[in-house]
Each structure stands twice: as C-alpha cells, then as structure tokens.
A = this chain, B = another copy of it.
Amino acid sequence: MSEKGICSVKGVKAYGFKDGKNGIAVISTPGRCVGTFTKNKVQAAPVVYSQNLLNEDPGIDNIIVNSGCANAFTGERGLKDARWMSKQMEGRNLVCSTGKIGSYLNRDWIQTAVEKAVRNIDTENGGIEAAKAIMTTDTEVKSIKIERDNYTVAGIAKGAGMIEPDMATMLAFIFTDIEIPQKEMENNFTKAVDNTFNMVVVDGDTSTNDTALLISTGKAEAEYTKNKKQVWKDIENVCKELAKKIAEDGEGSTKLIELSITNAKTEQEARKAAKTVLNSPLVKTAIYGEDPNFGRIVAALGRSKTNFHPEQIEIKINGKTVVKQGTINIDKEITEELKEKTIKIQINLNNGNAEIKGWGCDLTPEYIKINAEY
C-alpha cells in the first residue's frame, strides 16, 4: 500500500483520525462527483443530504465522513445535523456517516474533530490516515492505487463488517485526476459498482448508509478520449480490489470466497445464483469447517430460481472438479484444497452465455461473537 494512498491523485488531500469509537475523515477534492447510494428504504440523513446535493450539481469541494454514529432513523433532526455537518468546511461538501442507528450526531465532537483534521490536511500520509479513520470493525486498511504515466486512480473503503456493530455499512471513495465528462461518469460508474461492490456478500444485510463515490479532479494532463478504455478498466479494478478486501475482511471471517458463475441464461440470473450461493449459511459454514459438502452449493443454486439442468452443471473448487454430470466427487485432494485461505468456486451452468464474479467469506463463531456482544 502506498503511503500517500488517495493523495497520489492530483488535487486530493485528506486526513483523519480516531478518538475511541468515533472517527473523522476529511477529504478535500475539488472536482465533479457521481455516487451510488443504498437502496434500503430507510436512508440515513447523510445519504439523503448528499444525494440531493449531487442532484443539484455534481461539483463538490470536500467529503466529510464520521464513524461511530450513522445518523440514521433520526428524522428531521438528523437531516438538520447532516446539513450542519456539511457546513463545517467551506464549499459544497458531501457528508457520510457510519455507526449506530437511531442516535444523534454529537455536534461538539464533530466540530472540534473537523477543525483538527483540516489543520492536518497537508500531512504526507493523510490519505492512509483517512482510510484508518473510517474503519470500524475492519481489521485491515483498505486503500488501492493504480498510477499510470499521465493519470492516477485511487480509492479507499470501509468494509461490510458491521459498524459498532450495528450496520454493514460500506463506504467507498474513488478518485481520479483525469478529467472525465460528467455523462460518462454517470453512465459507467453504476456498472463498475454493480460488478464489484454489489457482488460482495458478507451477511446479506444492506445498510441505511451504503455509499460509493467517484470523483474526477481533472488535474492530470492525460486526455480522456485517448485513455477512456484504460481509465474505466482501472476504475473497475480499483473497485474490485477494494471489494475483495471488504469480502476478505468480513466480520470474523477466516477465508475469502471467490465465486464465478459462467454460462448462465442471463446476467440477472447469474447474479441471483452468485448471491444465493455466497449468502447461504450452509455454504459459508461448510467453507469455514473445510467440509466438502458440495451438495450445499447445489441446493443453494436450486433455490436461487436460476434456470439450469441439475445434470448439466459443473462445479470446480480451486480448479478441481467436484460436481459433474449429476454426481458429486469428493476425494482427498479436494479436501486438502479446502484448507486454503482463498476458496475459488467456479460454477458452469451450461445454460447460456452470461457470467458474473462475486466475493464472500465464511461464517464463523467470531462473526456471532462480534455481533452479539458490544
């Protein structure tokens, strides 16, 4: 991980710190922004506020993020608090919160914290400090950077480990200094998020606060039209690497599951199949237990309402065939594979041309401990 993190992107400065259970991060990033926000019916106040701000105009100056209090299910007062928080720095500022639902922002603490963070915003490793400040039950800092000759794409995220431990909030902030036309950002970012962050399953609970933002500062010299294809590949890769880190760092997890569905009838069906398998407690506990119960994968596929013929599907675990022609194969070699830290499940539905990748983790006693006690 680069020491400069997102601050490698020209025009981006950041700093953050934690103070017990609370954290603050400020990211100065004058530029244009697109965002994708939680589809949960209960949207947290900062989500409502930030979405409205971007609907008015994509130009922004700063992102202010607090951890420890989600400012969700807080009604009118919550909306006022979100607006107030956005005014703690000059300019048009997005706000994000993550933490406990149903309690109000502590304005005093946030005011002092933002001031302190702003004073330190020229710190060299400020990007990494910001990434640390938004961590909650995350055990690893999530920061990814791709530097090209003439532009940079970098991002930070906090994981779907529940916050506080109230919520599985995912926050992701992606920055690039290449100038991308707004229309292109709107058209392509949702797709990148759909193929990456939206294919991460930790526990199937989605948050009131989930937010992914892409900001283009336009400070790089590179010309967009010449680099277009590479730029979006880089953006999707930054999202994908952050998504994998989120899955790998799922609460209490000991293993990363990399799932691919191939030859599905439609992409929608491929997604449904992938999410059902990644979400199955039986599959997740089997992976945790290094237990070759591949029937559980078949049963999860069966209830996913995906079209396939049971006799025609093929399943491989870490490259080794375990299901083919309607029979399940378990040998010693495969049992050994289950001891690996990363488990690759490849499911070939042999029923079309659509495909998708997804990421998840095992379900462990530690997950329950984290979420039952606090």
What is A's interface to B at a CB cutoff of 8 Å? 39-43, 70, 72-75, 100-103, 162, 166-168, 203-208, 279-282, 285-286, 288-289, 291, 293-296, 298-306, 308, 310-311, 326-328, 363-365, 367-369, 371-374
In angstroms, Cα B360 to Cα A282, docked, is 17
Partner of A75, one of B208, B291, B326: B326
**Copy total for this chain:** 2
Partner of A328, one of B101, B285, B304: B101
Partner of A282, one of B205, B288, B295, B365: B205
Contact between B41 and A295, CB atoms less than 8 A apart: no
Given contacts A41-B302, A72-B299, 18 further A-B contacts (CB under 8 A): A41-B301, A41-B308, A41-B310, A42-B310, A72-B295, A100-B295, A101-B295, A103-B328, A166-B282, A167-B295, A168-B282, A203-B281, A204-B281, A205-B281, A205-B282, A281-B371, A286-B372, A291-B373
Question: Chain B nearest CB: distance from A208 CB in Å?
Answer: 6
Contact between B42 and A298, CB atoms less than 8 A apart: yes
Contact between B285 and A372, CB atoms less than 8 A apart: yes
Residues of chain B within 8 A (CB-CB) of A296 are: 101, 166-167, 205
A interface, by DSSP: helix, strand, loop or mixed?
Answer: loop
Residues of chain B within 8 A (CB-CB) of A286 are: 371-372
Instruction: Evaluate whether A102 and B298 lie within 8 angstroms (CB atoms) in the complex, with A281-B205, A326-B73, A372-B289 already known.
Output: yes
10 A-B pairs with the lowest CB-CB distances in the bound complex, closest first:
A101-B295, A289-B372, A42-B302, A102-B328, A285-B371, A365-B365, A40-B302, A41-B302, A75-B326, A203-B281
By beta carbon, the residue of chain B nearest A300 is B205
In angstroms, Cα B72 to Cα A192, docked, is 38
By beta carbon, the residue of chain B nearest A373 is B289
A sample of 17 inter-chain contacts (CB < 8 A) reads A41-B310, A73-B295, A73-B310, A75-B311, A75-B326, A101-B328, A102-B327, A162-B282, A168-B282, A203-B281, A203-B282, A205-B280, A205-B282, A281-B281, A281-B367, A288-B372, A367-B368
Contact between B41 and A291, CB atoms less than 8 A apart: no
Contact between A40 and B299, CB atoms less than 8 A apart: yes
In angstroms, Cα B167 to Cα A286, docked, is 12
